[in-house]
Each structure stands twice: as C-alpha cells, then as structure tokens.
Amino acid sequence: MTRGAIVAPVVADRLWTHRLCDHLEVAIGSPDRTLVAAGGLGGDGMIVDATSGTINAEVAEHPLGILSLAWSPDSEVLASGGQDGVVALSHRDGGRSAHRVGGWVQALAWSRDGKVLAVGAGKHLWTWHRTDDRLVDHGPQPSTITDLAWARREPLVGLACYGGVRWFAVAGPEPVAPGSQPTRTLDFIGSLLCLGVSPDGRWAASGNQDATIHLWKLWDRDELEMRGYPAKITAVSWDATSQLLASNGAEDVTVWDVSGAGPKGRTPLQLSGHTSLVSSLAFQHRGALLASCDGASIRLWRPRLGTRQLGQLEAEDEGFAGVRWHTDDRTLLVGGAAGRLDAWNVRRAR
Amino acid sequence: MQPVPVTVVTGYLGAGKTTLVNRILTEQHGRRVAVIENEFGEVGIDDGLVLDAEEEIFEMNNGCICCTVRGDLIRILGNLLRRRDRFDQILIETTGLADPAPVAQTFFVDEEIAAGTTLDAIITVVDAKHLIAHLDDTKPEGVENEAVEQLAFADRILLNKTDLVTPAQLTEVERRIRDINAVASIIHTVNADVDLDHILDVGAFDLSRAMSEDPDFLDEDAEHLHDTSVTSVGFVVDGDLDLRQLNDWLGELLATRGVDIFRSKGIFAIGGERNRVVFQGVHMLFDSTDGRPWEPNEPRHSKLVFIGRNLDRDELRAGVEACRIEVAA
C-alpha cells in the first residue's frame, strides 16, 4: 500500500488502483459494502471487490460513455446508463439484460424496497419493475431529466427538470399510464442540475444552472432559495443527520445548516482550500466526514466541528474527476480525469 | 489547457449547411472535430465524434429578459470538455430555423463552457438564389425572420450556390447581406466548397481581424439604399476612452436596448491601458479581454460596431464620443 499525501489528523492509505479508458466520475459502492462499480466516459466499466481490488466483472459497455450507475438495495443488481440511450442490468449471478430507452441516461435511482428502478433518459422517465421484468415509459417531460431522487416517506420519485421537481407515483403494483401527470410538482423557474433528498425525508434541494440552490420543505409549501454562488451548482450532498447540506458552485465548499427552523437568516460555512471550482463532493453515508475535489486536490472536512481541513490528497499523474465514499464509510473512491480509479482507506492519524 | 475553439454553423433550410458539415467530417484536414447536430444519431467517426442535440432553450434567472441559453448544448459541451484531449475543435450545426442568440449566449452564461471553450466563429451559410426571398419573407407580428437573424449574428458568411445566379443577382444579394451585416466577411462558394482554414479556428468572433481592415460602413457617409430594420452601425473614435464612462454607457445601453442589439463588438483604446481591449456582446450579455499591445507609434483609436434593429447612428455615436478623454490643448 502506498501512503497518501494526506495530512493529520486523518491519513489515507491506497488500497488498490485500476484504470478505465477515459474520464471517470462515477464510482459507487454496493449497499452490502462488498463491491465497487465504476463507469467512465470511455464507455467501459468494472465491478471490483472492495477489499481486495480484484476485478469481479465488467460493467456492460455503453459506447460513448457511462453516465450513471445504481446498485439495487440488496446489492444483487447493478444498473448502468449511458450516452448510448441504453439502461443495462448486471445481475450478481451473471445474468444480464439491456433495454434501449433513447436519450442520454443521466440518472438512475432504485426505490427503497428495490422493486422499481427509475430511469431518466433524455426527456423520458422510464421505470423497470423488477418483480415482473416490466419496462414502462412514462412519456416525455417538458425538458430533459437531469437527476432523480426517491422521496423517503412516500413512494414517489422526483425528477429534476427545467422548471422544478416533478414527483411521480410509479412504485405501485398497477402499471402507470404513459403520459400521466405528476402527483406533485415543486415549481422553480430555472434549470435544475442536481437533486438531493435529505435522509429524514424532510427536505429536497436542487442545485441550479443559475448559481442558486433551491430548497423545499417536503411536503408543505415552504421553500427557500440560496444565492451568491459564483458558478452553477452541480453537486449537493446531505449529511447523515439531515442537518447539513453541502454544495459546490465555488472554490469554497458551502455548507448550510438546515436544523431547527431552517437555514433562513443563517450564514453558511465556507470551507476554503480548493484552488479551482469544486467539481464533486460527498458526505459519508453514516459519518460526519465530507470529501470534496477539484482537479488538483481532494480535501476532507468535518463541517459539524467547523471549517478546519482535516486532510488533503494531491493529484499525481492525472487530475481528479470525482470523489465518493464507499458504503463502508472508510474507503474513498476517487475517479481520475483520464480514467484512473483509486480506493483510499481513510483513518485517524496516530 | 487551451480553450477548445467552437464553430457554430447556421443557415436557412437548404442553404448547404449539411453539405458543409459533411465536408468537414470527411475531408482530410488533420483536425479532430466533434460535431454537435440535430437528429443525426450519435456515432464515433475516425477522428472525432458526432453528437445528437435536441434543441432545448432555457431562460436564465439573471434579470436579463432576452437571456436564453441552450440547455442541451451546456450538457453536451460539458461532457465533451471532460474528454477535451480527444478533440481539436467543436462544431455546432443549428437547425435551419434556429435563432443563433441562445447558442451564442450559452458561451457567455455558463462558466464551465466560458472557461473551457472559445466561440471561434459563427458561420452562416446562405443560398445565393433564395436568400432575398427569405429576407423579404413577411413574418407575423412579433416573429423574427430567422434568415435576417442568422445574417446579423454571422462572423463569416458562406454565400453558397453562386453558380445558380447571374453576376448582377450576386451583386444584389451581397448588397442585401451588407445592409444587415457590414462586418462579416463573405466567401463565395459552390457546393459549400470552401478552404476549411477560412472557417475553422479563425478567431473571427472577437472581430479583431474583421475590424483591422476599416470596412466601408465605418464611414458615416456610406449610403444604405435599402430600408431594412436590421442594420450595422460602426464608428471609429480617435484618442482614448475613459474606462468607467465606457462601462457605464455600454452597460446602460445594452441593459435597455439589448433586445434590439443582436451583436456588439469593439476594439478600444482605453486611457492608461497598454493593450487594446477587445469587447463583444450578444444582446444584453457582454465581456471584454485584453488584445495585443498598442505599437509605440500606432495612432490610438477605438472601433465599435453594433448590429441590430432600430439603431440610431447619431445617438450611438454621441454616446461613445461622450466617453472620450479630452486632451488638454
């Protein structure tokens, strides 16, 4: 193992490295913590044993690039979507299927019970129903679906589009009529780029092209808009307590505290250190650490305790393209601008 | 990494855009080109990539009423920039009826695209035989004539199918083009057969080349025989301009009249600045960059061009003249 250039009070040891053929932003751990799946813009992808780093299987190839990956909650099925307009399903037992849906498959999200996979493909919402292997096209939305998220308290999937979030009830046993109207809409005149629902199901946050965050309290009519970012917001991440919302859109990471009455009137935390726009960020799934990356560095923070940076990794032979915590919350999955995939074990410095 | 030059090809239906794009895709020109166009289907080609775009126009929440951008282009260009080492050049082909403004404004509004690309030139392909009919096509109230808009936005105009008209007709077509856009260079072609060095990576959007040769229309006595509502107005102003006054004036002008001003371009001599300042705007959006340094004995003067509707030459000249720094006698 190679010791990373991370500084106290946390250090990182490299566990394993692989290489895809081009830019890699999407790497995710399986819910059972045993596997990591990664897919790059070169169109290739792999499923790796999280501990040993051994390649377990190839992800179905998506010529022109893999844009999205999602593990089913039972870790049995990996869904992948690409610029080729195909959503592919790789089953743990080796079974595979591929469905042509058209458009760029930018977003995939499994329902909490794992029975329904929601697919954002261009302007169309599709769902794949696992129990009867049924694929349903819910018809075109008014604009391209940029992100998807399931509500926590109701069986609704939210679609981020231009004009707001459109919530559909697609998880029920009955087939959903194509072209059906949304069950709810959260309106906002602007182009939504990413969507995050807080783990407690209380909030939905969108990052927007016009350099704002829009925050809705689900399900009443309360909404807030956070302005003042220098650039569009392409990444938001909730912490496990649903109290902190981290966002990019600047060289600083901005963290809003939504506890109590909400963030209105509060000044957000500004985590400073990056030297160019933050491209990717993620809170741990259950812990309090936040990882953020620009092309040159990955930085670790614990916003609950303040703005102090806890550690840093410097890019080596290629820039960083994306960072995500593995589901074990100890391993940092790092994608490179030329296709490199690194797994780093993060621990306290002795 | 150097910004990737982007060429936008516009033109009315049947003008020869697709012929031009196919030429760029198939000719051995040594450039790796990624092409973004409509309804082609996405395929990898030998030295590049063809990407499918479905026109999606968004309004921006930036207080600018005419600020629309192409959401599809933001996504596609953003994606291409993640693989930028694979391309030398990006080419966007718009549909025949497309308004070029949202395409051009995309390059001003999205910071990732502004940083990673440079809008190299808007090339408008026109059909020598049918252009005048398209220009004279009466549109319902409030509907823009796309053929006029596409000429107004052009940095270079490919006057195609010249073999189908007489020399006299060709002269008349050129005159009609010049009435609308007096700055763009016009290249005569048959079958869109053009030396690609004249349209790819030419740096035409910033106008420094076009404006280096004083076009006739900068002369205030130049006559505009045809009465058309979209015209070009240009000035040369000797001496230095005051930066703050110029900023205030241009900011106010474009904020209040930007709906009518399609393109604005300028090369300025700013008091105290060693370099020329190159300015460009699309409707209400604008930015400026440093140009080359002024030579020691080079007369310092500013050139400014507006292309748009209902332009009042005297009012615009008075505006820019008011920004001059008076030199004490």
Nearest to A226 by CA among A281, A280, A278, A267: A267
A180: number of CA atoms within 13 Å, CB side? 16
Residue B224 scores a pLDDT above 70 = no
Distance from the Cα of B156 to chain A's closest Cα (Å) equals: 31
C-beta neighbour count of A213 within 10 angstroms: 25
Three-state DSSP at B141 gives coil
Average pLDDT on B268-297 reads: 90
- The 10 Å CB-count burial string (b at 16+, else e) for B62-83 is eebebbbbbbbbbbbbbbbbbb
Any CB–CB contact under 8 A between A22 and chain B? yes
Residue A7 scores a pLDDT above 90 = no
Token output for A288: 């309090």
pLDDT digits (tens, 9 = 90+) for B51-88: 877 888 888 776 666 788 999 999 999 999 998 888 89
Average pLDDT on B120-142 reads: 90
Angle, alpha carbons B58-A249-B5 (nearest 5°): 65
Query: How far apart, in whole angstroms, are the C-alpha atoms of residue B250 and residue B286?
Result: 9
Any CB–CB contact under 8 A between B54 and chain A? yes
Cβ pair B43, B57 in contact under 8 A: no
Structural domains for chain B:
4-198 (3.40.50.300), 213-321 (3.30.1220.10)
Residue A197 scores a pLDDT above 90 = yes
Any CB–CB contact under 8 A between B177 and chain A? no
Any CB–CB contact under 8 A between A335 and chain B? no
Residue B45 scores a pLDDT above 60 = no
Residue B223 scores a pLDDT above 60 = no
DSSP-assigned states of every residue in A143-191: S---EEEE-SSSS-EEEEEEEEEEEE---SSSPPPTTPPPSEEEEEEEE
The residue behind tokens 């953020």 is: A292
Residue A292 scores a pLDDT above 50 = yes
C-beta neighbour count of A217 within 10 angstroms: 15
Longest Cα–Cα distance of chain B, Å, equals 67
Please give the C-alpha separations between residue A249 and each of A207, A246, B93, B110, in angstroms, as whole numbers: 9, 10, 30, 12
Peptide bond into A325 cis (omega under 30): no
Continuous segment of H or E residues that includes residue A137: strand A134-140
β-pairing verdict for B57-59 and A320-325? unpaired
pLDDT digits (tens, 9 = 90+) for A62-111: 988 999 999 999 999 999 999 999 999 999 999 999 999 999 999 999 99
Report the CATH number of the A2-348 domain.
2.130.10.10
Mutate to test the interface with A, among B38, B50, B61, B76 (most CBs of A within 10 A): B61
Residue A22 with chain B: CB contacts under 8 Å: 83, 86
Percentage helix, strand, coil, to 5, in chain B? 30, 30, 40
Torsion of CA A283, A285, A287, A291, to 10 degrees: -30
pLDDT digits (tens, 9 = 90+) for A202-260: 999 999 999 999 999 987 778 999 999 999 999 999 999 999 999 999 999 999 999 98
pLDDT digits (tens, 9 = 90+) for B164-202: 999 999 999 999 999 999 889 999 999 999 998 888 888
Three-state DSSP at B136 gives coil
Distance from the Cα of B81 to chain A's closest Cα (Å) equals: 10
Residue A301 scores a pLDDT above 90 = yes
Cβ pair B128, B134 in contact under 8 A: no
**Predicted pLDDT of residue A196:** 98
Provide the edge-to-edge strand list for the sheet that holds A105-110: A105-110, A116-121, A124-129, A134-140
Query: How far apart, in whole angstroms, are the C-alpha atoms of residue A149 and residue A63?
Result: 26
Average pLDDT on A176-185 reads: 77
Query: How far apart, in whole angstroms, are the C-alpha atoms of residue B114 and residue A232?
Result: 12
Distance from the Cα of A108 to chain B's closest Cα (Å) equals: 17
Query: How far apart, in whole angstroms, are the C-alpha atoms of residue A203 and residue A200?
Result: 8
Top pLDDT among A333 and B327 is at: A333
Distance from the Cα of A93 to chain B's closest Cα (Å) equals: 32
The pair phi, psi for residue B97, each rounded to 5°, is -100, 10
**Predicted pLDDT of residue A2:** 36
Percentage helix, strand, coil, to 5, in chain A? 0, 50, 45
pLDDT band at residue A178 under the 50/70/90 scheme: low
**Predicted pLDDT of residue B43:** 53
The pair phi, psi for residue B107, each rounded to 5°, is -75, -15
Residue B26 scores a pLDDT above 90 = no
ipTM of the complex: 0.89
pLDDT digits (tens, 9 = 90+) for B301-318: 999 999 998 898 899 999
pLDDT digits (tens, 9 = 90+) for A115-170: 999 999 999 999 999 998 989 888 889 899 999 999 998 889 999 999 999 999 98
Top pLDDT among B238 and B327 is at: B238
Residue B141 scores a pLDDT above 90 = no
Cβ pair B192, B160 in contact under 8 A: yes
pLDDT over 90 for what percent of chain A? Answer: 81
Any CB–CB contact under 8 A between A97 and chain B? no
Mutate to test the interface with A, among B83, B106, B112 (most CBs of A within 10 A): B83
pLDDT band at residue A262 under the 50/70/90 scheme: confident
Which distant-in-sequence residues (6+ apart) come within 8 Å of A228 by Cβ?
A: none
pLDDT band at residue B290 under the 50/70/90 scheme: confident
Q: B61 vs A41: CB contact, 8 Å cut-off?
A: no
The pair phi, psi for residue A8, each rounded to 5°, is -55, 155
Residue B234 scores a pLDDT above 50 = yes
Any CB–CB contact under 8 A between A248 and chain B? no
Residue B61 with chain A: CB contacts under 8 Å: 189-190, 210, 212
Size of interface A-B (CB pairs under 8 A): 59
Q: B83 vs A25: CB contact, 8 Å cut-off?
A: no
Which distant-in-sequence residues (6+ apart) come within 8 Å of B124 by Cβ?
A: B9, B10, B11, B100, B150, B151, B153, B154, B156, B157, B158, B184
Provide the edge-to-edge strand list for the sheet that holds A24-29: A24-29, A35-40, A45-49, A55-59
Query: How many angstroms from the chain centroid is the CA of residue B6?
Result: 12
The residue behind tokens 């319902």 is: B140
pLDDT band at residue B2 under the 50/70/90 scheme: confident
DSSP-assigned states of every residue in B168-195: HHHHHHHHHHHHH-SSSEEEE-STT---
**Predicted pLDDT of residue B225:** 42
Query: How many angstroms from the chain centroid is the CA of residue A86?
Result: 19
